[in-house]
Amino acid sequence: MFNRDRWKEILEVLTSNWFRTILTAFGVFWGILILIILLAAGKGLENGIKQDFNGVATNTMFMWTQNTTMAYQGLPEGRRFNFKLEDVDLLRQKVPELKIISPRNSLRSPSGVDNVIYGTETGSYRIFGDYPEILQQNPMYVAKGRFINHNDIREKRKVVVIGDGIRKDLYKEDEEVLGTYLKISGVNFMVVGTYKEKTSNGGNQDSERQIYAPFTSFSQAFNRADNVGWMALTAKNGKSISKLTDKIIGTVKQSRKVHPDDERAIGFFDLFRQYNRVETLFSAMRWIAIIVGTLVLISGVIGISNIMLIVVKERTKEIGIRRALGENPWSIKKQILMESIFLTIISGMTGIITGSLFIYGVNALLDNVGPVDMFLNPSVSVGVVALALTILILSGLLAGFIPAQSAIKVKPIDALRTE
């Protein structure tokens, strides 16, 4: 394999007709380039979409109350209702597979009416009464100060954590935020922290314009009694929230006296199922990329096989001479195979390198232009490149096999007679 004369000969043969060699190599080059770019584009899209799930415990569902649509146990249809705090305890008992249950109440101002006042500045924002655990279920992080904690809950402190967007709206550029008071629907709360979204892929500014208050003080301040409007439920690791959904909904339906068949009384969103759907979509996309790329690659490989057949045909006489001089058929076969593999690998490597440069260029461009919606950091893994190389070597072997076979099939005497 590492024989100087053999390599010299391979180069002599391949360089004897540059134009043809390059055209042939282009087929494989193109195939692998397309394969790599397709995979990278798929990955970029995947990264972009998955960024939205970034930092969220994906094994989570959210549920909220709507109006009942069926009469049940003497209660009419069209009834408005709320979860109660006791439902949270009931769920903890009945569904031990749950890790976190975060009940929430929220306040939204009637459209256009400013409900938050700071000094002379005002704004209209959503306010949540939440438990500290919500921090693990939402893709956000504390930028300054602290988040609400269990002491706040226990002592019903009137404190809030505001989004960075609100800070920008209501405060001056370098004004100290912590310790200031906001008047929210007539009640004063002290700001103890600000938060930011983990996904900063533009557009989504509203999610940084919300206010988090402790659940208990919120309920007290806005007269919610023991009502709960919304819950975020995360299952323990290794348990699927999707499989628990029926049990959870069933439990609260029973305690809220909702007809078991009433599908619309309780709304929910299964993040895990949604996430899975995205996963499935991307694995399908990956397969399409692999199949399309491989098909293009195959046509390149066929090109190589074709040209090797022609090379063998052209060299029939030479092969005859070599055999008359005593070269063994295996050595000839090996020669043809190595030529084919060499050509495949060289052109394939060029394709891989060009593809990588292309991806690098796109990344640099994305960095410069700024984030593009749903597209982030296109890349191919080392594993994929290794796989592509393996495919290349195998296809080189395959491409050379038939020509090599035909090279030694001709008897030396017939080969010598060829003019």
Partner 1 sequence: MIEIKNLHKSYKMGSNSLHVLKGINFSVEEGELVAIMGSSGSGKSTLLNILGMLDGADSGEYNLDNVPIKDLNETKAAQYRNKFLGFVFQSFNLINYKNAMENVALPLYYQKVNRKERQEKSLKYLDQVGLKEWATHLPSELSGGQKQRVAIARAMAAEPKVLLADEPTGALDSKTSYEVMDLIQKINDEGNTILVVTHEPDIAEMCKRIVHLKDGVIVEDKKVEQVRAEQYV
Can you give the binding site for partner 1, defined by CB under 8 A? 4-5, 12-13, 16, 317-318, 320-331, 408, 411-413, 416
* Residue corresponding to tokens 């063994």: 328
Q: How far is the CB of 345 from partner 1 (least distance, A)?
A: 23
Structure tokens, 110: 């009637």
Q: How far is the CB of 392 from partner 1 (least distance, A)?
A: 27
Q: How far is CA 52 from CA 106, 200, 359, in A?
A: 23, 9, 22
- 88, 228 contact by CB (below 8 A): yes
Complex with partner 1: residue 133 or 327, whichever CB lies closer: 327
275, amino acid identity: Y
Structure tokens, 286: 């990956």
**Rounded to 10 degrees, what is the CA torsion of 16, 17, 23, 25?**
-10
Q: How far is the CB of 317 from partner 1 (least distance, A)?
A: 7
Q: What is the CA radius of gyration of the chain?
A: 34
Q: How far is the CB of 16 from partner 1 (least distance, A)?
A: 6
Complex with partner 1: residue 330 or 360, whichever CB lies closer: 330
Distance CA 392, CA 296 (A): 13
Distance CA 263, CA 265 (A): 6
Q: How far is the CB of 278 from partner 1 (least distance, A)?
A: 58
End-to-end Cα, the chain, rounded Å: 31
Q: How far is the CB of 413 from partner 1 (least distance, A)?
A: 4
Residue 10: other Cβ atoms inside 10 A:
18
Complex with partner 1: residue 146 or 411, whichever CB lies closer: 411
Complex with partner 1: residue 269 or 330, whichever CB lies closer: 330
Complex with partner 1: residue 205 or 331, whichever CB lies closer: 331
Q: What are phi and psi of 155, to 5 degrees?
A: -90, 5
Complex with partner 1: residue 288 or 324, whichever CB lies closer: 324
Q: At what angle do helices 316-324 and 271-314 cross, to 10 degrees?
A: 70
Q: How far is the CB of 47 from partner 1 (least distance, A)?
A: 51
Q: Which of 316, 400, 407 minimizes the C-alpha distance to 28?
A: 400
Three-state DSSP at 238 gives: coil
Q: How far is the CB of 408 from partner 1 (least distance, A)?
A: 7
- 159, 176 contact by CB (below 8 A): no
Complex with partner 1: residue 279 or 327, whichever CB lies closer: 327
355, amino acid identity: G
19, amino acid identity: F
Complex with partner 1: residue 12 or 174, whichever CB lies closer: 12
Complex with partner 1: residue 151 or 328, whichever CB lies closer: 328
Structure tokens, 200: 């900063």
- 189, 181 contact by CB (below 8 A): yes
Complex with partner 1: residue 359 or 415, whichever CB lies closer: 415
Between β-strands 227-228 and 83-84, what pairing exists: parallel, antiparallel or unpaired?
A: antiparallel
Q: Which of 397, 409, 400 minimizes the C-alpha distance to 319?
A: 409
Q: How far is the CB of 288 from partner 1 (least distance, A)?
A: 45
Q: How far is the CB of 331 from partner 1 (least distance, A)?
A: 7
Partners of residue 372 on adjacent β-strands = 375
